[in-house]
Amino acid sequence: MSNIKYKQAIYSVYPTRFVYLCVYFPYLFQMCWAFTISWVVMLLQLMCVEAVPISIDKTKVKEPEQVETPPDTGLHYDRYLREVIDFLEKDQHFREKLHNTDMEDIKQGKLAKELDFVSHNVRTKLDELKRQEVNRLRTLIKAKQDIEGGNDIAVDHQALLKQFEHLNHMNPHTFEVEDLDRLIKSATKDLENYDKERHEEFKKYEMMKEHERREHLKTLNEEDRKKEEEHYEEMKKKHADHPKVNHPGSQNQLKEVWEEADGLDPDDFDPKTFFNIHEHGYDNKINVFVTMQTPTLEKIYDPANEEDDMVEMEEERLRMREHVMNEVDTDKDRLVSLDEFLVATKKKEFLEPDSWETLEQNQAYTDEEMREFEEHLAQQEKDLNQKADDLQKQRDELERQQEQLNAQKQELQQVTSPGLPAFGPQGQEEDMG
């Protein structure tokens, strides 16, 4: 796979949390190698040159660029994944094999077999990382069991076992080939399902927001309810009143980025130059698709506006990213090469795209889904109320049994010690007269 294709891997990721596993290795290597070389050169200069102090115009000194870590994948084992990759990259043999291994072979676990050839120091550190991860998972699972057990909730053991799918928990002491194989395959599968799960979460968010709005209306009198409905419609209309949204990935949108983000003349737009600009930015973790979407999203959403929901903005961003990847990523390897990019710019969809329908034009749920959602909430409320009633009955029964026990103790005291005063439930002396 070409180096350009590796560098464009970030095209396919979600802006804040979504980094494809197999791209981490070359990405981190490039960053670390460049960083190391720069410091070696600097140290040599300091050792070989004896300079006298001079005054420096600090206004003309450029601040060193900050090397950022890859964005969070959103996986519950993200830290473990990062640390394993970091230490594997330190082994020269593994690093060389990585750069010569095809993406599909990496996904199928063939790279994992190279673990047998890494240095002893790296293997020792990987063993330590695995033990820490196993202990972390055990602690979390125990806490979850304690909480659910204390609330009389049946523990889902299968769900708990899934927390260990990214490693071999039967061997909690050493990091083996199977562990690396599981880590790669688990991350690949989890990341591929992430978009679908995000869409489902957003749908539930939108339905809950609508449900709460309806419930609030029920608490108002007729006059206030009318005002609230008018305000709601006004906010919807205000949100929908935004400039035209360019079709994601179209020539018009790229020109928008070219002008607003890159500061270039739109009349000089050139697809290859555009690609190279953002490919170069990849080393600084600039995601071209995030960059492409940002000017468009800023036309629709403003965090200062009451009518604009930032959760909806992130869903819009995800929809745009998916759409662009479906049109550009022809080999479906979740990467975008220069060739794929240039081919996409010659399509009719790039030059004469259809209009893009934003979220307000595409309701996230159907009326039937909303009805089922509210029925589910009603059933949950009914179950909770029933459980509360059962708990109250249990409490009443315990109090009744306690009273009976106190009465029996009182009678027993009277029988065994007829000359002593009787005591009530709270220990107060009672009048025996």
Question: What digits encode the pLDDT tens for the residues 249-276?
Answer: 899 999 988 998 889 998 999 998 988 8
- What pLDDT does residue 331 have? 73
- What pLDDT does residue 38 have? 45
Alpha-carbon distance of 215 to 319, in angstroms, equals 30
pLDDT at residue 198 is higher than 70? yes
- What pLDDT does residue 6 have? 38
- What pLDDT does residue 59 have? 44
Q: Are 145 and 287 members of one domain?
A: no
More confident residue, 108 or 282: 108
Residue bearing tokens 């060193």: 64
Q: Are 119 and 81 members of one domain?
A: yes
Q: How confident is the model at residue 71 (pLDDT cuts 50, 70, 90)?
A: low
Residues 353 and 247: beta-carbon distance below 8 Å: yes
Whether 288 is covered by a domain: the verdict is yes
- What pLDDT does residue 194 have? 80
Q: Are 173 and 24 members of one domain?
A: yes
Q: Are 26 and 166 members of one domain?
A: yes
Structure tokens at 40: 């070696």
Q: How confident is the model at residue 1 (pLDDT cuts 50, 70, 90)?
A: very low
pLDDT at residue 417 is higher than 60? yes
pLDDT digit string, tens, across residues 2-19: 444 433 443 333 333 333
Whether 400 is covered by a domain: the verdict is no
Residue bearing tokens 């009744």: 400
- What pLDDT does residue 239 have? 94
Q: Is the dihedral of CA 17, 139, 129, 188 positive or negative?
A: negative
Segment 63-78 shows an average pLDDT of 62
The count of structural domains within the chain is 2
> 385: left (phi > 0), else alpha (psi -120 to 50), else beta?
alpha
Question: Which percentage of the chain shows pLDDT scores above 70?
Answer: 72
Whether 378 is covered by a domain: the verdict is no
pLDDT at residue 309 is higher than 50? yes
CA distances from 421 to 340, 411, 414 (A): 97, 12, 8
Rg (CA), the chain: 32
Q: Are 80 and 122 members of one domain?
A: yes
pLDDT digit string, tens, across residues 84-107: 988 998 898 898 887 777 767 777
- What pLDDT does residue 51 have? 43
Average pLDDT, the chain: 78
Residue bearing tokens 């007269």: 433
Alpha-carbon distance of 237 to 226, in angstroms, equals 17
Alpha-carbon distance of 20 to 12, in angstroms, equals 8
Segment 349-370 shows an average pLDDT of 91
- What pLDDT does residue 328 have? 86
pLDDT at residue 110 is higher than 60? yes
pLDDT digit string, tens, across residues 160-179: 777 888 999 899 999 999 99
pTM assigned to the model: 0.62
Q: Are 233 and 322 members of one domain?
A: yes
Q: Are 183 and 239 members of one domain?
A: no
- What pLDDT does residue 184 have? 87
More confident residue, 402 or 67: 402
Whether 428 is covered by a domain: the verdict is no
Whether 303 is covered by a domain: the verdict is yes
Q: Are 162 and 199 members of one domain?
A: no
Alpha-carbon distance of 276 to 278, in angstroms, equals 5
Q: Are 203 and 351 members of one domain?
A: yes
Q: How confident is the model at residue 381 (pLDDT cuts 50, 70, 90)?
A: very high
Which of 33-37, 111-115, 206-210, 318-322 shows the lowest per-residue confidence on average (mean pLDDT)?
33-37
pLDDT digit string, tens, across residues 15-48: 333 333 344 444 444 444 444 444 434 433 444 4
Whether 407 is covered by a domain: the verdict is no
Whether 262 is covered by a domain: the verdict is yes
How would DSSP label each residue in 313-331?
HHHHHHHHHHHHHHHH-TT
How would DSSP label each residue in 208-266?
HHHHHHHHHHHTS-HHHHHHHHHHHHHHHHHHH--PPPPPTTSHHHHHHHHHHTT---G
Q: CA dihedral in degrees (342, 343, 347, 349; nearest 10)? A: -70
**Last residue within a domain, chosen from 350, 368, 386:** 368
Identify which of 306, 401, 318 has the alpha carbon closest to the alpha carbon of residue 364: 318
Whether 394 is covered by a domain: the verdict is no
- What pLDDT does residue 146 have? 79
pLDDT at residue 63 is higher than 80? no
Residues of the domain holding 207: 194-368
Q: Are 135 and 209 members of one domain?
A: no
Provide the 3-class DSSP secondary structure of residue 429: strand
Residues 228 and 220: beta-carbon distance below 8 Å: yes
- Identity of the amino acid at 342: L
**Last residue within a domain, chosen from 154, 187, 220:** 187
**Last residue within a domain, chosen from 323, 342, 368:** 368
Q: Are 130 and 169 members of one domain?
A: yes
Alpha-carbon distance of 277 to 237, in angstroms, equals 38
Q: Are 176 and 210 members of one domain?
A: no
Residues 225 and 320: beta-carbon distance below 8 Å: no
Identify which of 125, 135, 197, 144 has the alpha carbon closest to the alpha carbon of residue 167: 135
Identify which of 204, 215, 133 has the alpha carbon closest to the alpha carbon of residue 174: 133
Identify which of 58, 56, 122, 128 has the alpha carbon closest to the alpha carbon of residue 88: 122
